[in-house]
């Protein structure tokens, strides 16, 4: 997450990175989303790789009226760890959502709609918008993840597809 501070004069601004604890990031996200705004922050960790990578800028939108459903990446509080996490909806059960990271082997569990802080409406990497993993293909990704096949397929993808081609396929200007 970035903040702007004036350096010299009323119109000059310098971007500085603000590091927040997980709890502070969650509180800020809940406050902004609770007022209907979008919340932008830098992703940390590798559990959603390659669709969301560490350092990507994510925008969370409020879950009310939003598109919660199969394949949608969501921000939530992990029931086991209490940490604020972004993972993908891989299924539904009753009125709950089954959540799992794309690179993870196990699901996070079942969450009610009230456990979801927001959904990922935008991903930016190196100044480019990333759309793969947020469009129609998110459903296929979720189903492969639910079947336990996604981590193995991702390893094959990294081995067989050269990096420049992977970058070109996943990034749009």
Task: Catalogue all structural domains in the chain, each as residue range(s) with its CATH number.
Answer: 2-170 (2.10.109.10)
The DSSP line for 26-91 is: HHHHHHHHHTT--EEEE--SSTTTTTS-TTPEEEEE-STTS--STT-EEEEE-TTT--EEEEEEEE
Alpha-carbon torsion 43, 60, 4, 21, what sign?
negative
Contact between 14 and 7 under an 8 Å Cβ cutoff? The reply is yes
**37-84 pLDDT, tens digit each:** 999 999 999 999 888 999 999 999 998 766 788 999 999 999 888 899
**117-156 pLDDT, tens digit each:** 999 999 999 898 988 778 888 999 999 999 988 888 888 8
């Amino acid at each position: 997450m970035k903040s702007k501070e004036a350096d010299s004069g009323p119109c000059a601004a310098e971007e500085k990175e603000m590091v927040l604890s997980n709890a502070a990031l969650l509180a800020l996200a809940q406050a902004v989303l609770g007022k209907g705004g979008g919340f932008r922050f830098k992703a940390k960790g590798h559990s959603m790789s390659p669709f969301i990578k560490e350092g990507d800028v994510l925008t969370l939108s409020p879950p009310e009226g939003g598109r919660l459903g199969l394949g949608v990446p969501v921000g939530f509080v992990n029931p086991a760890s209490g940490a604020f996490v972004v993972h993908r909806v891989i299924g539904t059960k009753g009125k709950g959502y089954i959540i799992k990271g794309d690179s993870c082997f196990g699901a996070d569990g079942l969450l009610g709609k009230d456990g979801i802080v927001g959904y990922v409406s935008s991903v930016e990497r190196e100044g480019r918008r990333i759309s793969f993993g947020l469009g129609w293909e998110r459903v296929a990704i979720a189903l492969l993840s639910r079947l336990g096949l996604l981590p193995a397929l991702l390893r094959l993808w990294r081995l067989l597809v050269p990096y420049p081609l992977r970058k070109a396929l996943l990034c749009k200007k």
